[in-house]
């Protein structure tokens, strides 16, 4: 696990605290740590988990012992590409809160990405797809986007993990598959065999446990700090200061826990483009190799 640099430790701490409160994903700087695949070369074969994500999406070869591989960023010496990723968080037991009007979706954010023509990868929980099937289907139908798996329950896959409840022992694989099943039930197209652990929390044991799903685990190297941000400016500053060629930026697609994200994106996108960056989906970074 890489230690966060001193310069961003405060922001990382803030993100950690937010995650403690909200059970959000993308909580810690250095999320690309843990374990990286031994070989950066993408597999020539395609993955096909039970709910049949897009067979065209490149994956990394398995890790030691056949464990799920981990991807955290693309090539540093390649083109100036950056992948914005948005975790559509909703925890399995948050249905009553949604019923009372709390918005775990963020249609304005999706509309902004479409208006600005920003390709992006949405890491969606199965619960979110169940709660917002029309939006889930709409996102998957737009060729700008690919829909990846952020678990069904948004429970932790290892413990401790920012106070998240933990999946029952032996159910990690089923939780991943249940999310793909939810996507299929909602009619989501353009799903990809990528999985982001809730909170990014994982270890070698759980990587082996989910290996049968054939997913590539996707972490990140840039924490946007959008979780519970009160203003867009710090999020903009954080992202602009940390993006490098091949970066994977973690943000959120849930108004409830990340209300400033849409504004932040509006400010980040033109600035990164002015600096020569191209926005790509995670599948493009994986296809070109990384880490």
Residue nearest to Zn ion (CB): 25
Beta carbons of 146 and 192 less than 8 angstroms apart: yes
Exactly one of 8, 11, 22, 25 binds Zn ion (CB under 5 A); which one?
25
Binding mask 53-72 for Zn ion (x = CB under 5 A): --------------------
Q: Where are the alpha helices (DSSP H) in 132-260?
A: 133-141, 172-186, 204-209, 233-242
Q: Of 25 and 246, which has the nearer Cβ to Zn ion?
A: 25
Q: Of 90 and 268, which has the nearer Cβ to Zn ion?
A: 90
Q: How far apart are CA 221 and CA 21, in angstroms?
A: 22
Q: Of 34 and 42, which has the nearer Cβ to Zn ion?
A: 34
Q: Of 49 and 198, which has the nearer Cβ to Zn ion?
A: 198
Exactly one of 14, 87, 155, 262 binds Zn ion (CB under 5 A); which one?
87
Q: Taking the complex as a whole, how short is the minimal distance between the CB of residue 162 and Zn ion, in angstroms?
A: 10
Q: How many binding residues for Zn ion (CB under 5 A)?
A: 3
Q: Choose the binding region for Zn ion from 24-32, 77-85, 209-217, 228-236 (rule: CB under 5 A).
A: 24-32
Q: Taking the complex as a whole, how short is the minimal distance between the CB of residue 146 and Zn ion, in angstroms?
A: 17
Q: Taking the complex as a whole, how short is the minimal distance between the CB of residue 31 and Zn ion, in angstroms?
A: 11
- Measure the CA dihedral 209/210/216/221, to 10°: -70
Exactly one of 67, 68, 89, 175 binds Zn ion (CB under 5 A); which one?
89
Q: How far apart are CA 61 and CA 134, in angstroms?
A: 34
Q: For residue 5, how many other CB atoms are within 10 A of its CB?
A: 11
Q: How far apart are CA 119 and CA 169, in angstroms?
A: 36
Q: Of 89 and 209, which has the nearer Cβ to Zn ion?
A: 89
Q: Of 89 and 130, which has the nearer Cβ to Zn ion?
A: 89
Q: Taking the complex as a whole, how short is the minimal distance between the CB of residue 232 and Zn ion, in angstroms?
A: 20
Q: Of 62 and 199, which has the nearer Cβ to Zn ion?
A: 199
Counting beta carbons within 10 angstroms of the beta carbon of residue 186, is it exposed (0 to 12), middle (13 to 18) or buried (19 or more)? buried
Helix axis angle, 133-141 to 172-186, nearest 10°:
80
Buried-exposed string 115-129: b where 16+ CB fall within 10 A, e elsewhere: eeebbbbbbbbbbbb
Q: Choose the binding region for Zn ion from 2-10, 89-97, 114-122, 174-182 (rule: CB under 5 A).
A: 89-97
Helix axis angle, 261-274 to 233-242, nearest 10°:
40
Instruction: Decide: is 105 part of the binding site for Zn ion (CB under 5 A).
Output: no
Binding site for Zn ion (CB under 5 A): 25, 87, 89
């Amino acid at each position: 696990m890489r230690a966060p640099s001193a310069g961003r430790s405060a922001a990382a701490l803030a993100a950690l605290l937010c995650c403690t409160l909200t059970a959000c994903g993308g909580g810690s700087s250095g999320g690309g740590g843990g374990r990286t695949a031994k070989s950066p070369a993408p597999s020539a074969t395609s993955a096909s988990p039970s709910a049949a994500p897009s067979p065209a999406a490149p994956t990394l070869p398995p890790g030691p012992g056949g464990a799920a591989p981990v991807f955290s960023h693309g090539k540093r010496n390649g083109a100036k590409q950056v992948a914005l990723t948005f975790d559509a968080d909703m925890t399995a037991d948050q249905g009553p809160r949604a019923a009372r009007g709390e918005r775990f979706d963020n249609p304005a954010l999706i509309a902004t990405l479409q208006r600005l023509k920003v390709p992006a990868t949405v890491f969606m929980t199965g619960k979110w797809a169940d709660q917002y099937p029309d939006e889930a289907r709409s996102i998957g139908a737009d060729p700008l986007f690919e829909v990846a798996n952020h678990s069904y329950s948004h429970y932790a896959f290892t413990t401790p993990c920012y106070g998240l409840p933990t999946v029952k022992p032996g159910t990690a694989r089923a939780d991943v598959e249940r999310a793909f099943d939810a996507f299929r039930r909602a009619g989501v197209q353009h799903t990809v065999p990528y999985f982001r652990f809730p909170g990014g929390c994982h270890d070698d044991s759980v990587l082996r446990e989910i290996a049968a799903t054939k997913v590539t685990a996707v972490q990140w190297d840039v924490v946007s700090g959008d979780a519970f941000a009160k203003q867009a400016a710090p999020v903009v500053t954080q992202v602009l200061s940390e993006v490098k060629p091949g970066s994977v930026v973690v943000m959120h697609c849930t108004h409830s826990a990340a209300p400033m994200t849409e504004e932040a994106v509006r400010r980040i996108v033109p600035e990164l483009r002015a600096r020569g960056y191209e926005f790509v989906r995670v599948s493009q970074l994986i296809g070109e190799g990384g880490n």
